[in-house]
Amino acid sequence: TGFIVLYPVGVASELTMVWLALPTIGATRMWCYDMPNALNMAFDYYIVCWIIVALYVPGLPKLYTYMLSQRGKMLASGNKKKS
């Protein structure tokens, strides 16, 4: 199946889209909530995007191997049902 090739291509395209959006997010302060405010908290979407990218990259091999094992289980159980 195309999963082995398409999964990493999909992840790479997601990370590329975030990378391309980061300058705009940082310049416009999109979805940021600055202090002082009534909730006495701050939220910076630009930093959250960087954190997600930083966690996504080292987590990809673990997620990919897990998805491959699940795929193998489903394909193996499908062959047993047919026979």
Q: Residues with catalytic annotation?
A: 7, 14
**Phi, psi dihedral angles at 45 (to 5 degrees):** -60, -35
| Angstrom distance (rounded) from CA 59 to CA 38 | 36
Specify whether the backbone of 29 is left (phi greater than 0), alpha (psi in -120 to 50) or beta: left
Could you tell me if 53 and 18 are in contact, meaning their C-beta atoms sit under 8 angstroms apart? yes
